[in-house]
Amino acid sequence: MKPRLIVHGGAWDIPDQHVEAHINGVRAAVETVHPLLEQGMSALEAVERAVNILEEDPTFDAGRGAFINARGDIELDAMIMDGRTLDFGCVAALRNLLNPVSVARRIMDARDFRMLVGPGAQEFARAQGFDEVPIEELLTERELKLYEKIKNDESFKPISAFSGQAPSDTVGAVALDRDGNLACATSTGGTPRKHPGRVGDSPIVGSGGYADNESGAASATGYGETIMRVVLCKTACDRIEGQGAMRAAASAIETLETRGKGYGGIILIDPRGGYGFAHNTPRMAFAYADGREVVARIET
């Protein structure tokens, strides 16, 4: 099986001046990780590594660069799923961590649970030896400016972030390894000025990500409250068999728009290695490996 890797860096109205940073960010994740997949890295390891790279890049709303919530704090959500076993790990409302997806991966290996939130997730991360970072390490000038602009603006609605009036940049990765195993991972800072404790689609199995060797694997980005309505990633994976990856992605996004009344984007890989991607936002940043070449695009 030829290894495959596709990543996204969010779907929104990416302004022209941020296009280069987005393309460079998603390209770097694929350029770094796809060769490792070719050398035999598992799909699960690959999606974690690719998302780590995107979390550390301040361009994106995940890890460093995440949105600031209504209390002036940063709370992070992430998930990872193994298409071979259908096992998963999810974390939500995690603070002061640069790589929440790696905490999700450790949760996946825990004996008694698969999803942790808030202080319990924090306690688990600490016990697992993750280094907590000061909030300044995650904060960017860009997000501070946005926060100052919207913190008392009663007319601001989170859905504006996805239809094109404010930034939104969840990150995700989907991989197929040499053994034919699929995996996905998604990580986010959520929505601008979100309510403390608000959890979106990203750490929810089936909505923000889904992976099953028998149907396909996907990662979503967009307005979580609407993505959850249509369980976007599971919906897309279920449609692959009849339609192929590309049409399954497009038809799932159509369902997000018509039934979910929402905005977002999706990347996916079918069990034979076919890619799919679609969005109904003005733009989406993504990259994938095509043989030895890396294709990095802002799709409009």
Active site residue ranges: 170
Binding track, positions 83-112, relative to ligand GLY; x by CB under 6 A = ------------------------------
Q: Which is nearer to ligand GLY, 130 or 263 (CB)?
A: 263
Residues 232-271 that bind ligand GLY (CB under 6 A): none
Residue nearest to ligand GLY (CB): 200
Minimum CB distance to ligand GLY smaller for 202 or for 213: 202
User: In angstroms, rounded to a whole number, what is the distance separating the alpha carbons of residues 38 and 149?
Assistant: 45
Strand partners, 185: 80, 173
- Rounded to whole angstroms, the maximal C-alpha distance in the chain is 53
At a CB cut-off of 8 Å and minimum separation 6, what does 219 contact? 8, 172, 173, 174, 184, 185, 186, 208, 209, 233, 266, 267, 268
Q: Is 226 in the site for ligand GLY (CB under 6 A)?
A: no
Minimum separation from the CB atom of position 156 to ligand GLY (A): 15
The one among 222, 262, 271, 276 contacting ligand GLY by CB under 6 A: 222
Distance in angstroms (rounded) separating the CA atoms of residues 238 and 246: 13
Number of chain residues interacting with ligand GLY (CB under 6 A): 11
Residue 9 engages ligand GLY in binding (rule: CB under 6 A): no
Residue closer to ligand GLY (CB basis): 221 or 280: 221
Rounded to 10°, the helix 245-258/232-243 angle is 140
CB of 112 to ligand GLY, least distance (A): 26
Cβ count within 10 A of residue 63: 29
| Residue 273 CA: distances (Å) to CA of 3, 4, 233, 234, 270 | 8, 6, 17, 17, 5
Q: Which amino acid is at 221?
A: T
Q: From the CB of residue 39, how many other CB atoms can be counted at a distance below 10 Å?
A: 9
Residue with tokens 């990347």: 267
| Span from 85-93, 175-183, 199-207, 278-286 in contact with ligand GLY (CB under 6 A) | 199-207
User: Is the CB of 44 or the CB of 256 nearer to ligand GLY?
Assistant: 256
Q: Which stretch binds ligand GLY (CB under 6 A): 81-89, 221-229, 247-255, 288-296?
A: 221-229
Nearer to ligand GLY, 91 or 289 (CB): 91
Q: How far is the CB of 1 from ligand GLY (least distance, A)?
A: 30
We find the least distance from the C-beta atom of residue 206 to ligand GLY, in angstroms, to be 14
Q: In the bound complex, what is the minimum distance in angstroms from residue 186's beta carbon to ligand GLY?
A: 8
- Considering only residues 157-196, where is the footprint of ligand GLY by CB under 6 A? 170, 188, 190-191
List, in sequence order, every residue forming a beta bridge with 265; answer none if it has no partner: 221, 279
φ, ψ at 48 (rounded to 5°): -65, -45
Rounded to the nearest whole angstrom, what is the least distance from the CB of residue 37 to ligand GLY in the complex?
A: 25
Residue position matching structure tokens 């999606």: 47
Comparing CB distances to ligand GLY, the nearer of 223 and 275 is 223
φ/ψ of 218, rounded to 5, equals: -150, 155
Chain contacts with ligand GLY (rule: CB under 6 A): 170, 188, 190-191, 200-202, 221-224
